């Protein structure tokens, strides 16, 4: 089974006091550490496990600068066979533009599955996998928590709301967006890092893909980043259920809501 995994390098922001840059359209990134997007990490691991079961190859693809090759090297160290970086230069991109670029790269490969993470830690829009499937005119499933290769297709387990799961079958080739928890991503060893240095990593300038300029125009743009306004702390209501209910009703009426 030949698998393409789309990955992204994202900043670690969980324990950092973010600052908005002078443009007001981004955050200051000079002091941020970067890692492989968490959802993509699970997608890479799933691709490698499928390759170990069925044979084939795993190719990791990213869009970005030379710094973004760091995550491709990690994918190679985990067990991917090849890696491709598309260099977009300074071109602004939204999810749609990224899906079109990735689709053009994938179309030039032999593949059975294309895996993406459900979303990315930095943008959290969760759209690239779905849009990529549309660009490739391929079956798609999102929030996938299980994959069972079958003759000419794959059984897919999808996480639904309310703690429910859905089991279905998709024909191949297909695009699947992988949810965290589908597996346990492997530790990258020193030996794996050394082997990764010898594996193929190709850099493709965006212009070489021959995508029409109109298709590379973002449909969405960022107008401004701002922090939410500071408000007062939460009010804790104490007492038994009846007392708390009366307090809630009083607050609602004070806010001008008619009951």
> Which range (17-26, 37-46, 66-75, 133-142) has the least confidence?
17-26
As a dihedral over the C-alpha atoms of residue 120, residue 41, residue 181, residue 134, rounded to 10 degrees, the angle is: 50
Query: How much is the pTM?
Result: 0.85
What's the CA gap between 116 and 221, in Å, rounded?
23
The average pLDDT across 114-134 equals: 94
Q: What is the pLDDT of residue 197?
A: 85
Residue 42 has pLDDT above 80, yes or no: yes
Average pLDDT of every residue of the chain = 92
Q: Residue ranges per domain, the chain?
A: 3-216
Task: Please identify which residue in the block is written with the tokens 């401004």.
Answer: 224
What's the CA gap between 237 and 247, in Å, rounded?
7
Give me 55's structure tokens. 């044979």
The average pLDDT across 193-219 equals: 92
CB of 43 closer than 8 Å to CB of 117: yes
> Which range (58-62, 164-168, 175-179, 251-255) has the least confidence?
251-255
Task: Tell which CATH classification among 3.40.930.10, 3.40.50.970, 3.40.50.620, 3.40.50.1010 matches the domain 3-216.
Answer: 3.40.50.620
Concatenated DSSP letters of 98-127: HHHHHHHHHHTS--SEEEEES--TTT----
Residue 175 has pLDDT above 90, yes or no: yes
Residue 180 has pLDDT above 80, yes or no: yes
Residue 77 has pLDDT above 90, yes or no: yes
Angle at CA of residue 65, ends 61 and 66, nearest 5°: 90
The average pLDDT across 17-34 equals: 86
- Return the higher-pLDDT residue of 19 and 31: 19
What's the CA gap between 102 and 6, in Å, rounded?
8
pLDDT band, residue 231 (cuts 50/70/90):
confident
């Amino acid at each position: 089974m030949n698998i393409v995994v789309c990955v992204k390098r994202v900043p670690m922001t969980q324990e950092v006091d973010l600052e908005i840059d002078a443009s007001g359209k981004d955050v200051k990134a000079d002091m941020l550490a970067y890692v492989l997007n968490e959802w993509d990490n699970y997608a890479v691991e799933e691709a490698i496990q499928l390759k170990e079961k069925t044979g084939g190859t795993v190719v990791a693809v990213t869009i970005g600068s030379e710094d973004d090759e760091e995550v491709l090297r990690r994918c190679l160290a985990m067990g991917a066979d090849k890696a491709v970086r598309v260099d977009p230069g300074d071109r602004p991109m939204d999810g749609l533009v990224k899906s079109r670029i990735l689709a053009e790269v994938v179309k030039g490969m032999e593949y059975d599955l294309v895996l993406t993470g459900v979303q990315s830690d930095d943008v959290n829009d969760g759209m690239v996998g779905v849009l990529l499937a549309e660009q490739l005119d391929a079956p798609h499933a999102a929030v996938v928590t299980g994959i069972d290769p079958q003759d000419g297709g794959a059984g897919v387990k999808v996480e639904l709301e309310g703690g429910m799961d859905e089991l279905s079958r998709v024909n191949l080739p297909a695009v699947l967006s992988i949810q965290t928890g589908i597996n346990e991503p492997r530790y990258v060893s020193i030996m794996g890092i050394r082997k990764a240095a010898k594996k193929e990593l190709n850099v493709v300038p965006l212009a070489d893909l021959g995508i029409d300029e109109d298709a590379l125009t973002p449909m969405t743009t960022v107008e401004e980043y701002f922090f939410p306004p500071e408000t007062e702390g939460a009010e804790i209501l104490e007492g038994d259920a009846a007392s708390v209910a009366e307090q809630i009703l009083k607050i609602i009426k004070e806010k001008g809501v008619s009951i």
